[in-house]
Structures are given as C-alpha cells and as structure tokens.
A and B are shown apart, each in its own frame.
Chain A
Amino acid sequence: MSQTRIPHLKVAGVSTCVPARVFDNLERGKDFGDTEVRKVVAMAGVRRRHVVEPGVTATDLCFEAAVRLLERLGWARESVTAVILVTQSPDYFLPSSVCMAHKWLGLHSDCAAFDVGLGCSSYPYGLYLAGTMLQAGGQQRMLLLNGETPSLFTDPDDHATTLLFGDAGSATAIEVDEQAAPAFFNLHTDGSGYDGLIVRGGAYRDRTPSNPRLNFLQMDGAAVFNFTIKRVPALIRATLEFAGLSVEDIDTYLFHQSNQFMMKHLIKKAELPMERVPFVLDRFGNCGGPSVPLALTQGGAATPTAARRIMALGYGVGLSWGSAVFNLAADAPLLHSDYSGTVPRS
C-alpha cells in the first residue's frame, strides 16, 4: 500500500502560465465536420485551448509561472534549495529541462534539481516528492514545476486528441513549517496499461519510425475511460479513509481535467458535491498534469476568504494515478498569467 502521511506540508502558493495563443475548437469544423466537432466539444467540454507558439516549451511556461510566484512570495532565489520539474514534454533528451529553469531563475548552486517523467498523475506525485524531501531534512524551500505541451505531440488529423489537449505550465512553492497541517498521499501504478496512452516514436525504442504518425500520441479512449471509472472513485475513498476524513471534510477536489464526460461520471460515482469540483476544461482543455494546479488558480475565487483542505487527483498515462490531501492558507497566492516570452532570464 503506497500511502504516506507527511506531518507538516505548507503549500505557500501556486502559479500557472498558459500560452497567449488561443484556438477555438468550433472553428475546426472545416477540418473535421461541424457535427463531429460539436459532438466532441459537447462531450469533452473543451471549447478553447491555449497552444504554444513554435519554439516555446513547457519549461518556458513553468519559468514564467515560477518568476511571478517567487516575486509575489518575496522568496530570495538563494533560499530555494530544491526544484523538481515533472513533465513528459522535455526540451531535450538531455540535459534535464529543470537545469535550464534553474539557470533562468538564477537559483543557487546549492540547490538540488531534477526532472521526473510523469503525465496526468504528475501533480500529486510531485507534491509527494517535494513533501518527502522536506520531511527528510536538508531542504527549506522547494519549487515544484509541472508543465506539459500536449499540442506538440498530438496528431493534428486526430480530432479525438487534437481537440482535447491544451498546454500549460505551473509552479508551486512548498516550504518547511512546523505549524502546517499534515498531508496525505496515495499513489498507484498499473503498468499493464502502459500503451493506453503512448507516443511510440522518437525515443530510443523507435527513434525514427517508418510511420510518422507514431511520433504522435495514440490514445485508447475506451481503455483509459475503463481504467478511470475503476480506479479513481476507489482512490478517493481510500484517500479519505487513510486521512480519516469524510467527503464533506474536503473543501475542494482538484481533478485532473481529463474530459467533462469522464469527470462528471467520476464525481457522480464517488458521490462528491459537484460544487466542490472546479472545471476549467472549457477554457484550457486537458493540459495533462498541470491541469490540476490550473483548476486551483482558475477554478474558483482568486482570493479565497478561508483556509481550505484540498484533495488533488491525478490519473492517466502510465497507467498511473494518485492523490494528495493538503491544506491551503487563505492568503496563499494563486496566480495566473499568459506567457509573454519577455520575462528577463538570468
């Protein structure tokens, strides 16, 4: 049972950044047919998607999100002792993309930095890693960067995926605070479904596939949907039980914004109050893992009036799924911006 309680975890703030370029899905009727596009939009719930300009990466989006967050928190760059970038949209095979973010942010050399390759489940996994590092000692302040650019690996001719996914980056500030409430994590994997969502080409198993379409995402929608309805409601129940909480004790359920139909079914099956689940799919699409922090910054009041207990839920590619329960202070900044490309870099 991969369940972990971390005695103190303070999420000091969350910042998200999306590309300024917006695509309206209803304008794709000329490519896929009006009826088909309307059907996808109605089911998936994605009306608009933010898509990176050529040459812009997930690391760029995370960088701007992090700059704004560090400035708002007033954290000196040298006070950050570790930074983790969770993404499946790296800039290069090597070096780790986080090393560029480390440079651009002007972080100190006394700072641990590494990439983690996870997709839809990345936010709770990233919080878990950051939380356990803080708990182990030696770290004071950490940045969790979580970004994805699915638009760069979806097949433009596949309406099921190209109309679903958008791009986003995020930064979450986490620090040691002995007064902070405990956090609870529940993490899972089912590798037998590794090919339910897969980009087969481009890496070392098939560097230059004969079929160029293998360089794009292939999604077995039925298999993934079946996985989610089997696993996610059980994950919610197990997490509540592990944390000793009831459904009502959680103020906000941050779902990975997979698709509207799927989310509504999961919410109903798990018997969650719909009003406690933010939806941002209509404006941003499915951005992979960073859709979770995006639902936090864009799915409710920008300045909440009270502290909240949050359950973050990630599930998808891997197959991998996980949850995190943590508290968020009322004054924790929740920031959001469009990518400018003009923020100065060290």
Chain B
Amino acid sequence: MDASKQINEREALEMLAETFAEPPENIRPEVERSTIVGWDSMGALMLMAELDERFSIELNAETSKKMQRIGDVLEFLRQKGALKS
C-alpha cells in the first residue's frame, strides 16, 4: 500500500460515516451493522466502491457479508495496509 494513501482510524471512521450516510458520532468500532441504516445492501456496494476508488482494495462479496461491526471494516483495512497502525 502506498503510504500516502494510508489513513488513520479517525479518518477511516469519517469515511465510513460518509459512505453509509450516518452521523459521525454513530460510527464507532463496536457499533453493529444491524443498527446502521445505511449499511444495507446498497451501503455494502458503496463501501466496495469507496475502497476500490480510494485504496484499489478489492472487497469481495463473501468478506463483505461477514462484516458485522464497524470494527470488522477497520480490521480489514488494517490487514490490507490501508490503516496506519
């Protein structure tokens, strides 16, 4: 991952709030997917598009469906080297 593309956790949470059209205060690592209205089937596509566009990261459908909390997305970003440790 190009270091210039890496983001920190705060920036990642802001990105997810924008992607799911949620107020930033609602987006925290422990928040469950089922409580985020914007993280529906369309929101999942938005997230795929965002990660592809911003980091050239492929989020496949299977991995996307397994994500149950905001923290799962953060962990995925970390594994892919997009999140600064």
By a beta-carbon cutoff of 8 Å, the part of chain A in contact with chain B is 39-40, 43, 160, 220-223, 225-226, 229-230, 261-262, 265, 268-269
Contacts and interface: CB of A to CB of B under 8 A. Distances in A.
A225 B65 CA distance: 13
B53 interface: yes
Contacts, number: 42
Interface string B43-65: 01110110011000011110011
B76 to A, nearest CB: 14
A222 B61 CA distance: 5
B61 A269 contact: no
B41 A221 contact: yes
B15 to A, nearest CB: 16
Given A39-B42, A226-B60, A230-B58, A269 B48 contact: no
Nearest to A264: B49
A222 B49 contact: no
Interface residues on B, range: 10 to 19
Contact of B65 (A39, A222, A262): A222
Contacts of A220: 61
Nearest to A268: B53
12 contacts: A39-B42, A43-B42, A222-B64, A225-B49, A226-B59, A226-B64, A229-B48, A229-B52, A229-B58, A261-B45, A265-B49, A269-B53
A226 B48 contact: yes
Interface in B26-53: 41-42, 44-46, 48-49, 52-53
Contact of A221 (B45, B52, B53, B60): B45
B67 to A, nearest CB: 11
Interface in B57-85: 58-61, 64-65
